[in-house]
Amino acid sequence: MAYQPSRRLLHLYKPALKSYHSRRYAASIPTSLYTQQSCRMTPYNLYRPFSIYPPRCNSTATVRIDSLGGESIDTCTLKSFHCKVGDYVERHDVLAVIETEKVGMDVEAPESGVIRHLFVKEGDVVTVGQAIAEIDIQVKKG
């Protein structure tokens, strides 16, 4: 029986190849696809053996401070909330106002739903990437 080094090498490196391609594919996806969406199965999802997305059936969306408009600005002050726990908000509604040394900005809701929890208080200093609120997206208006 002849020795087949190519098959043996392929068998040894198969897990590494799979993880490399899945990481490369995940890095090429636009960040807008990482937002929370309702759970639904599409024909494309049925044929994939793994999922590269975060859990899509999650019932919450976290509101984070994404960017403050400049590379050198890392912190800001939360001036006011326009909602409270239990309020229903639509997607892109203004939830809060933050203020840096130079400018004030609005923080919008990433999804429609009910405010479940506020992580910071008015007047607190927040940083880029910090969560300020949590929205229950499975609750419908009504």
- pLDDT for 142: 67
Which of 21, 105, 34 lies closest to 65, judged by CA? 105
Structural domain includes residue 95: yes
Phi and psi at residue 130, to the nearest 5° = -75, 140
- pLDDT for 49: 47
Structural domain includes residue 75: yes
Structural domain includes residue 106: yes
- Could you list the residue range(s) of the whole structural domain that residue 96 is in? 60-136
Structural domain includes residue 52: no
Partners of residue 126 on adjacent β-strands: 76
- pLDDT for 31: 47
Structural domain includes residue 127: yes
- pLDDT for 68: 74
Structural domain includes residue 131: yes
- pLDDT for 51: 44
Structural domain includes residue 73: yes
The average pLDDT across 2-24 equals: 53
Structural domain includes residue 16: no
CATH label of the domain that carries residue 68: 2.40.50.100
- pLDDT for 18: 54
Report the distance separating Cα 99 and Cα 126, nearest Å. Answer: 10
- pLDDT for 131: 92
Provide the domain count of the chain.
1
The answer for residues whose C-beta is within 8 angstroms of residue 3's C-beta and 6 or more apart is: none
- pLDDT for 2: 54
Which tens digit of pLDDT belongs to each residue from 21-71? 555 545 554 444 444 444 555 555 445 444 444 445 668 888 988 877 767
Q: In what order do the strands lie in the sheet with 104-108?
A: 104-108, 94-99, 75-81, 125-127
Which tens digit of pLDDT belongs to each residue from 70-105? 677 888 899 999 999 999 999 999 999 999 888 888
